[in-house]
Structure 1
Amino acid sequence: MVNFIFGIHNHQPLGNFGWVMESAYEKSYRPFMETLEEYPNMKVAAHYSGPLLEWIQNNKPEHLDLLRSLVKRGQLEIVVAGFYEPVLASIPKEDRIVQIEKLKEFAKELGYEAKGVWLTERVWQPELVKSLRAAGIDYVIVDDYHFMSAGLSKEELFWPYYTEDGGEVISVFPIDEKLRYLIPFRPVDKTIEYLHSLDDGDESKVAVFHDDGEKFGVWPGTYEWVYEKGWLREFFDNVSSDERINLILYSEYLQRFRPRGLVYLPIASYFEMSEWSLPAKQAKLFVEFVEELKKENKFDRYRVFVRGGIWKNFFFKYPESNYMHKRMLMVSKAVRDNLEAREFILRAQCNDAYWHGVFGGVYLPHLRRAVWENIIKANSYVKTGNFVRDIDFDGRDEVFIENENFYAVFKPAYGGALFELSSKRKAVNYNDVLARRWEHYHEVPEAATPEEEGGEGVASIHELGKQIPDEIRRELAYDSHLRAILQDHFLDPETTLDEYRLSRYIELGDFLTGAYNFSLIENGITLERDGSVTKKQARVEKSVRLTDDGFIVDYTVRSDTRALFGVELNLAVHSVMEEPAEFEAEKFEVNDPYGIGRVEIELDRRAKVWKYPIKTLSQSESGWDFIQQGVSYTVLFPVEGELRFRLRFREL
């Protein structure tokens, strides 16, 4: 007989749309637990994230009653994590304990004293042991890949182990990767056969499956397969009645058996994450390398040595995510003693908006907007003031300016541009705009999955090859720079809007990403750069002052080269889908009712204006997402000699 632990992880990110929550509930969470109720001999370990539990509590409270009933019947073990589903390794130690204890309290309301942690995205680093133990946790669940990366063979991965840091010890269960690819995508008998193959008479041997609950109804094709075609009922029936399979919960296992020994796990996550977290060029090489090993039938033998990036690499891969993360850390430290403010920063630690894999993640504006909303709300409880320091640890100082209504953060070393303009009144960051970048899967149709395709059942997301539609490919463009407000361009006068928006133009000057000198003034900053335009000397000065409703900037531009001087404002317009347009105006309004709201751009003279949507191409569980990350507005003036003008940004 072999022990078998069956677990699911149910999560919806902070800021997700209500209709998405509703759909996932009806397709997965509700039918799964209602089916479980029909099989009293079936046992499940379940983790529900805080954002999902809050939605269920407000919209489907009867589901919580069902969970309480299943706990009482001994069918359900509640496994916790950080309440708002942070990657624990990415947040301060003090916040980890509060996050875990908050979800433990919710588990108590469901009738369960939780002692185990589902490690968000299975992102492990050794020093987590101390935080987990301080939060009263006895065991944690990670992938078998972590253990293999530590040098253990597959045959040694059917038992939990102890791991230790600084004298603190915790039990660690390995999730069986083969089961992750069998359940629920392959016929039930394939899983039964595999579990039977593990039965060698050792009564302490345990196979662990613990994976996303969304695989049971939300992932493409799975609702029909799991429920309408009866996969889940067949699975519960067969597993719970098989005399060679002993269904057991984590806590029950640890009451009967002791962990096998001591192991030290490296920093790791699951195998696919090591592909996704690499910079795009390296990720492409990683996929090619895995495919070469498979072709030569060497992958299974050597895969333990195949490792890509780690989760925190996403902060290197996506500077916008890194900046958001470092602002979160900055505010977390500032509000640690303020319980009300701290609740907002705990929300801002929800992991989804900080990274990107097979799901949208950082590419989904509404998820980033939710993080920024909570960072800004938390920040508003303390007075930050003005300062100069390297906020995002990129080796260059930022200038942080605060008034009664706004936070403004300039990067003098990166075009002297405004990289954060956060409104306290609206709790939005006007520059929450992601640059358009090439991702390795734009060329690589396959992913570096450790399993071969099975041919039977339903395809996993990881097996779905996708071609970019022609209508998207025609509009696809990549940026050579990050997006900000008050970015300075020198363009050839013959440049067209299409050339500009599709990144098919030549930047005549070195001001867009060049370093500006700066000096602080009352309520603002003066930035200046002596650079060149077509190798001739040029100079740009901009003096920016925060106002009660936005900012005013006065420009002085000197260039001997005949050119178009453009000031670009990238604004986080997410709810109104814009089209490219060219017009002339002295004043124009931007209206984004479900995003940044209404703002007005006013000039002291009439100017040509180019606008276009900034669209990125990313993959998701449903295919390709061509998403508007914001809208670029560029005001253009001819320059040959000296140019002076004023621009005003006003929040309405």
Structure 2
Amino acid sequence: MDLSTRNQLSLLLAFHAHQPVENFGHIFQSAFENAYQPFIDILAEFPEIKISLHISGSLLDWLLSNKPQFIQDVRKLVSRGQIELLSAGYYEPILILLPEWDRIGQINLHRAKMKAIFGQEPQGLWLTERVWEPGLPVSLRRAGIKFTIVDDEHFKIAGYKPEELWGYYLTEEQGMEVAIFPGSKFLRYSLPFKLPQETIEYLKAKNQQGKNCITFGDDLEKFGFWPQTYDWVYEKKWLYNFFCALRDNKEWLKTVHFKDILRDTEPTGRVYLPCASYSEMMEWSDNMFRNFLVKYPESNHLQKRVFMVSSVINQLYDKNKKIEEARLHLYKAQNNDVYWHGIFGGLYLVNLRQNAYRHLIMAERIADEIKQQRFPYYQVRDFDLDGREELVFKHELINVIIHPHQGGTVSEIDYKPREMNIVNVLTRRPEKYHRKILYKEKVACGSGGENPASIHNIEAVKEEGLEELLVYDSYRKVAWIDHIYSRCPQVQEIMRNQMTEEVPLWKMDYEYSVSKNIIQLKCLTSDIEFEKFLAVEKNVIDFEYRVNIGDSHSRWLGSEFNLLFYSQELLNWNEFQKLEELKFEDSWF
């Protein structure tokens, strides 16, 4: 049966439910109460309305442990044919940031869980943040995926006109074919922010133009959990009224599943899409998601460390049962939220970075146990792929990553017993929205009407005086950064990046050598002899200097450590200034 011959428009409704790995419990609970449960409750009242649903693995884990009845509710709607399940990487990674084996492994894990819990193995994929690259069809087909959803932005970048964006297209890579459904940006901004009748009029116009299939795909959280939406969607019955409107127009409008369209209709055409995402992401990332790895060296560092550990785990496949435990920790460290920043906090959220490093360190520690790795141990490799070699030093309790070609700075110190990277800090850098604070631009706080504004249109300054806190760094904030000043700097000058260095040692190449548990670094300039030593012994790291800065004039040595403290006492600035010695010991944690 060809649906296109019935003068009927098929509407595909795809909803994506996700929370970051091990997010705060109250966030899970609030999203559940304000979006997930009420949405499913109302959907159950309309058995003729079909939707497609993706639940990320991190959210699924929480639901299984805390809301078993919700799982039963969804299973019931799946069994009666109302919900079509979609898959993705289990812990919601950006697939293009993963090696091939982890792309397939994460998708296979999610599909298997869906089959075991709900009795349905997904054929389609919710593409995380709709980040597409042309090579993805190979990974998707190898993982058993037949179709995915992108935004109409992808097609527009490829030169397609709005009137061509309906139905589905076929693409391929190396002969492996995948169907692609273009999601409508109009629907993404109208559901649930416009009155249901406005959406019906849009769909009616598409039907009159002879289109047979239109796709909507977006976050389920916007239906109650996003700011100002709960009252509109549920108290004022937007969702109920929207489903009623769909039912009232069933003569020409019908909700269907993606698998039905693939089975019953021909593709609109063939397409080869460029690297792309939705329009807002393209703006945040300067037109390509991988640019986040350029803008944020901290993101690149984490992603390359994860890749490094993944390569080790992949080589240990099937050699030990504990490898599956290591792989799960690795998958959790690949959760997408920590690798970028847009409308939400993302990389700026300390708890997300802490969780990612915790699982990364646990995965690496298990892999070392399986390998029976002997310590101390070090590698010289360009792990972050910046064209310069780093020194990766591993001890029984501590890992250290040193950059000899960047002044011997330290970008990572892992304390393995607590799975903590204490150099897990961010460099202060400008963001586009800062101009609204610096120049006190007028910002919008709502839609101006009864219906709420999309979160993309809400820009509000929450605190006064934020412009005083906008200070930007001229170099990456890590640890063991060496400075030579012509005078003693004041605390505020350091904090506000106002000091001019006489010699920026952090830019220079240092010679290095490793002897057992001691690393020596040496810098020679025209009149400065500079050596520093790092020694690791059990749970203690010792930093030492030997400096000859010449006799020509007075100079001051600054040694800068940017650390993420987990101590309330040290978070107090007045108390911190009293420190004369800082010891990295087990008792410190």
One fold, TM greater than 0.5?
yes
Corresponding position of 2:547: 557
SS of aligned partner of 2:528: strand
Q: Are positions 1:267 and 2:275 aligned together? A: yes
- After TM superposition, give the deviation of residue 94 of structure 1 in Å: 0.9
- After TM superposition, give the deviation of residue 493 of structure 1 in Å: 4.0
Match of 1:110 among 104, 118, 121: 118
Match of 1:329 among 286, 307, 310: 307
- After TM superposition, give the deviation of residue 166 of structure 1 in Å: 0.7
Counterpart contact for 1:97–1:131, Cα < 8 Å: yes
Mean Cα displacement is larger for which, 68-77 or 382-391? 382-391
Alignment of structure 1 residues 71-470 onto 2, 5 Å: 71-108=78-115, 109-200=117-208, 202=210, 205-242=212-249, 243-278=251-286, 309-336=287-314, 337=317, 338-383=323-368, 385-444=377-436, 457-467=451-461, 469-470=463-464
Q: Relative to 1, partners in 2 of residues 1:247 and 1:208: Cα closer, same or farther, differing over 3 Å? A: same
Counterpart contact for 1:499–1:505, Cα < 8 Å: yes
Paired amino acid for 1:556:
R
Counterpart contact for 2:482–2:558, Cα < 8 Å: yes
Counterpart contact for 2:482–2:504, Cα < 8 Å: no
Q: Relative to 1, partners in 2 of residues 1:408 and 1:441: Cα closer, same or farther, differing over 3 Å? A: same
Alpha-carbon displacement from aligned partner over 1:31-86 (angstroms, at most 9, x marks no partner): 11111111112111110100000001111111100000011121111111000101
Residues of 2 paired with 1:503 and 1:558: CA distance? 26
SS of aligned partner of 2:542: strand
Residues of 2 paired with 1:154 and 1:480: CA distance? 44
Corresponding position of 2:60: 53
Paired amino acid for 1:221:
Q
Paired amino acid for 1:580:
W
Counterpart contact for 1:79–1:116, Cα < 8 Å: yes
Residues of 1 paired with 2:174 and 2:478: CA distance? 44
**By percentage of residues, which structure has more strand?**
1
- After TM superposition, give the deviation of residue 368 of structure 1 in Å: 1.0
- After TM superposition, give the deviation of residue 272 of structure 1 in Å: 1.0
**By percentage of residues, which structure has more helix?**
2
Match of 1:500 among 494, 497, 506: 494
Alpha-carbon displacement from aligned partner over 1:359-415 (angstroms, at most 9, x marks no partner): 111111111111111111111133473111101001111001111111111001112
Task: Calculate the aligned-residue CA RMSD, in Å.
Answer: 2.2
Paired amino acid for 1:557:
V
SS of aligned partner of 1:184: coil
Paired amino acid for 1:554:
E
Corresponding position of 1:35: 42
Residues of 1 paired with 2:567 and 2:464: CA distance? 25
Paired amino acid for 1:425:
P
SS of aligned partner of 2:418: coil
Mean Cα displacement is larger for which, 141-150 or 350-359? 141-150
Residues of 1 paired with 2:81 and 2:547: CA distance? 74
Corresponding position of 2:535: 545
Residues of 2 paired with 1:527 and 1:550: CA distance? 19
Counterpart contact for 1:509–1:531, Cα < 8 Å: no
SS of aligned partner of 2:148: strand
Paired amino acid for 2:185:
E
Residues of 1 paired with 2:587 and 2:119: CA distance? 52
Paired amino acid for 1:347:
K
- After TM superposition, give the deviation of residue 181 of structure 1 in Å: 0.7
Counterpart contact for 2:166–2:268, Cα < 8 Å: no
Residues of 2 paired with 1:179 and 1:355: CA distance? 25
Residues of 1 paired with 2:382 and 2:392: CA distance? 10
Residues of 2 paired with 1:156 and 1:378: CA distance? 46
Counterpart contact for 2:11–2:253, Cα < 8 Å: yes
Residues of 1 paired with 2:474 and 2:232: CA distance? 44
Corresponding position of 1:523: 517
SS of aligned partner of 2:536: strand
Counterpart contact for 2:52–2:86, Cα < 8 Å: yes
SS of aligned partner of 1:425: helix
Counterpart contact for 1:542–1:555, Cα < 8 Å: yes
Alpha-carbon displacement from aligned partner over 1:450-470 (angstroms, at most 9, x marks no partner): xx9786621111112334744
Q: Relative to 1, partners in 2 of residues 1:133 and 1:539: Cα closer, same or farther, differing over 3 Å? A: same
Residues of 2 paired with 1:407 and 1:55: CA distance? 31
Paired amino acid for 1:538:
I
- After TM superposition, give the deviation of residue 515 of structure 1 in Å: 2.3
Unaligned runs of 5+ in 1: 279-308, 590-598, 601-648
Paired amino acid for 2:142:
A
Unaligned runs of 5+ in 2: 1-7, 318-322
Q: Are positions 1:473 and 2:481 aligned together? A: no
Residues of 1 paired with 2:76 and 2:506: CA distance? 61
Counterpart contact for 1:549–1:651, Cα < 8 Å: no
- After TM superposition, give the deviation of residue 513 of structure 1 in Å: 3.1
Query: Percent identity over the alignment?
Result: 39
SS of aligned partner of 1:340: helix
SS of aligned partner of 2:401: strand
Counterpart contact for 1:476–1:502, Cα < 8 Å: no
Residues of 1 paired with 2:148 and 2:191: CA distance? 21
Match of 1:514 among 498, 508, 514: 508
- After TM superposition, give the deviation of residue 313 of structure 1 in Å: 0.8
Q: Relative to 1, partners in 2 of residues 1:387 and 1:117: Cα closer, same or farther, differing over 3 Å? A: same
How many residue pairs match? The answer is 556
